[in-house]
Amino acid sequence: MSRHARLTVFARAALLGMATLVAPHAAAQPGLVKPPDIAARGYTLMDADTMQVLAERDGDLPLPPASLTKIMTSFVAASELEAGRISLSDVVPVSVNAWSTPGSRMFIREGTEVSLENLLHGVIIQSGNDASVAVAEYIAGAEDAFANMMNDHAAQLGMANTHFANSTGLPNTAQHSTARDMALLTRALIQRFPEHYAIYSERQFKYNDIEQPNRNRLLWRDRTVDGVKTGHTGAAGYCLVASAKRDGMRLISAVMGADSDAIRVRETQKLLQYGFRYFETRQLYDAEATLKAAEVWYGEADEVAVGVPQAIFATIQRGRYEDLEATLDLPSALEAPIAAGEELGELRVMLDDELVAAAPLIAKDTVAESGFFSRMFEGVVLFFKEFIG
């Protein structure tokens, strides 16, 4: 049995569902068009399925996040909703502290009660600082305690260069994030809480007889954009995290520190257009697919179906799909017993000399050990087979 089973990706019958992406920058692919110049202090363009960074400058530079902070505020709320500790129908009392918070407002009134569902719409659509503080106080008792929850979630998501000090994004020297961290957060929000993320696509929200539009103007300019959030302070400049989906491919753009609202919108459009025009994301393998029937020794079955634990995607330069080459790296002799889900080897997908995706190869079935005499006979056969080989 050959140690390596090789195949071209485009020839497979099972090309269908979460990637284990290894190559961090598709821009390393030869012949790729250079990303556009972006007028911002830091930016990142990321594929949502593979986490492939398609374009970036100073993506890890800590910057004031302004109201991009509210993406994490809503993420924490969505996590608490999922855990069942709060409900959208909960009635939240509005404190003097929340009511008096400066900056953008939902216009809630001190001493009243507002449903959590309305408050979350106020946080996301109207970018209400008053709503953000009310949500923080309701979930954690105080805004500083809520900031601790935000930082716990940031650590879990791998946001290595982020620290939150409040729920609003109002200026605070201890609060900072990066374009890449904001893209990571947005990806997690979209994938884990799609129903909650749907609020980000709503164009306006009315509360207290005051209707306010969503501040993300790309919702009107590009029908493929369905989020996410703007931010602005004097220190942060103009920021915009946006996400769009075209032909099954979702991109996330994070632009921080632009000089105006018009510039952040324009530069975001440039990034999204670049990503969709020059890249494609393909689902290479379905988690249900059998990639190989591997020979088994000392087992009650002679073969075991081998596959991947989750579907595999790759983001590559457009026109290069048929150049992908996959390697199934398995031991020369698999021996029973084998448990379903047991890791047996590794799948690697290459483009030229670059590793673009990798995943463990697992057994899809259980193979029990055969009887004593059968194992003894096969042991002799295997010995001579390996000796001759």
The set of residues, in sequence order, having a beta carbon less than 8 Å from that of 266 and lying 6+ positions away, is none
Residue 88 falls within a domain, yes or no? yes
Per-residue model confidence (pLDDT) at position 11: 35
Residue 216 in 3-state DSSP?
coil
Mean pLDDT of 269-295: 93
State how far the Cα of 64 lies from the Cα of 295, in Å rounded to an integer. 57
Per-residue model confidence (pLDDT) at position 16: 32
User: Which residue in the list 70, 229, 270, 364 is annotated as catalytic?
Assistant: 70
Read off the pLDDT band of 7 (50, 70, 90): very low
Mean pLDDT of 101-128: 97
Between vectors from CA 236 to CA 53 and to CA 70, what angle results, nearest 5°?
75
State yes or no: pLDDT of 2 exceeds 60: no
| Parallel, antiparallel or unpaired: strands 292-297 and 303-307 | antiparallel
Q: CA 173 from chain center: how many Å?
A: 28
Domain end point (choices 279, 300, 316)? 279
On whether both 275 and 152 belong to a single domain, the answer is yes
On whether both 309 and 379 belong to a single domain, the answer is yes
On whether both 39 and 10 belong to a single domain, the answer is no
On whether both 93 and 241 belong to a single domain, the answer is yes
Residue 22 falls within a domain, yes or no? no
State yes or no: pLDDT of 270 exceeds 70: yes
On whether both 63 and 161 belong to a single domain, the answer is yes
User: Which residue in the list 74, 104, 127, 177 is annotated as catalytic?
Assistant: 127
Domain end point (choices 279, 305, 339)? 279
Residue 27 falls within a domain, yes or no? no
Residue 372, token pair as written in the block: 């004593």
Is the distance from CB of 42 to CB of 314 less than 8 angstroms? Answer: no
Q: What is the helix (H) or strand (E) element at residue 245, kind and residue range?
A: strand 237-246
Per-residue model confidence (pLDDT) at position 20: 41
State yes or no: pLDDT of 344 exceeds 70: yes
On whether both 82 and 171 belong to a single domain, the answer is yes
Mean pLDDT of 105-124: 97
Per-residue model confidence (pLDDT) at position 1: 35
User: Which residue in the list 67, 104, 177, 253 is annotated as catalytic?
Assistant: 67
Distances (CA, A) of 109 to 5, 67, 139, 302: 67, 21, 19, 72
The set of residues, in sequence order, having a beta carbon less than 8 Å from that of 268 and lying 6+ positions away, is 218, 240, 242, 253, 255
Is the distance from CB of 125 to CB of 199 less than 8 angstroms? Answer: yes
Per-residue model confidence (pLDDT) at position 26: 45
Per-residue model confidence (pLDDT) at position 23: 39
Per-residue model confidence (pLDDT) at position 4: 38
State yes or no: pLDDT of 329 exceeds 70: yes
Residue 378 falls within a domain, yes or no? yes
Mean pLDDT of 154-178: 98
Read off the pLDDT band of 299 (50, 70, 90): confident
Domain end point (choices 251, 279, 307)? 279
Percent of the chain topping pLDDT 90: 78
State how far the Cα of 68 lies from the Cα of 289, in Å rounded to an integer. 40
State how far the Cα of 222 lies from the Cα of 214, in Å rounded to an integer. 14
On whether both 273 and 309 belong to a single domain, the answer is no
Which residues lie across from 239 on neighbouring strands? 231
Domains of the chain: total: 2
- Domain with residue 349: its CATH number is 2.60.410.10
Per-residue model confidence (pLDDT) at position 376: 54
State how far the Cα of 205 lies from the Cα of 98, in Å rounded to an integer. 19
On whether both 150 and 177 belong to a single domain, the answer is yes
- Count of helices and strands (H, E) across the chain: 10, 18
Residue 23 falls within a domain, yes or no? no
Residue 25 falls within a domain, yes or no? no
pLDDT tens profile 70-82 = 999 999 999 999 9
Please give the backbone phi and psi of residue 110, each rounded to the nearest 5 degrees, phi first: -60, 140
Mean pLDDT of 348-371: 89
State yes or no: pLDDT of 24 exceeds 80: no
Per-residue model confidence (pLDDT) at position 72: 98
State how far the Cα of 257 lies from the Cα of 359, in Å rounded to an integer. 37
Average per-residue pLDDT for the chain: 89
Mean pLDDT of 357-383: 71
Mean pLDDT of 46-52: 95
State yes or no: pLDDT of 357 exceeds 50: yes
Is the distance from CB of 235 to CB of 176 less than 8 angstroms? Answer: no
Is the distance from CB of 60 to CB of 284 less than 8 angstroms? Answer: no
State how far the Cα of 194 lies from the Cα of 73, in Å rounded to an integer. 16
Mean pLDDT of 89-98: 97
Pick the residue with more confidence: 220 or 2?
220
State yes or no: pLDDT of 383 exceeds 70: no
Mean pLDDT of 52-57: 96
On whether both 255 and 291 belong to a single domain, the answer is no
On whether both 253 and 304 belong to a single domain, the answer is no
The alpha carbon dihedral of 19, 24, 29, 34 has a sign of: positive
Taking alpha carbons only, the member of 73, 70, 68, 74 closest to residue 40 is: 68
Task: Give start and end residues of each alpha helix (H) in the chain.
Answer: 69-83, 96-99, 116-124, 129-140, 143-156, 179-192, 194-197, 218-221, 261-278, 372-388
Q: Tell me the residue range of the domain where 13 lies.
A: 4-17+286-388
Whether 70 sits among the annotated catalytic residues: the reply is: yes
Pick the residue with more confidence: 300 or 145?
145
Whether 67 sits among the annotated catalytic residues: the reply is: yes
Mean pLDDT of 86-111: 96
State how far the Cα of 182 lies from the Cα of 72, in Å rounded to an integer. 9
- Domain with residue 261: its CATH number is 3.40.710.10
Per-residue model confidence (pLDDT) at position 370: 66
Per-residue model confidence (pLDDT) at position 19: 37
Mean pLDDT of 276-301: 89
Pick the residue with more confidence: 195 or 26?
195
Per-residue model confidence (pLDDT) at position 143: 97
State yes or no: pLDDT of 27 exceeds 80: no
Is the distance from CB of 32 to CB of 26 less than 8 angstroms? Answer: yes
Per-residue model confidence (pLDDT) at position 303: 87
Please give the backbone phi and psi of residue 100, each rounded to the nearest 5 degrees, phi first: -90, 5
On whether both 248 and 102 belong to a single domain, the answer is yes
On whether both 299 and 154 belong to a single domain, the answer is no
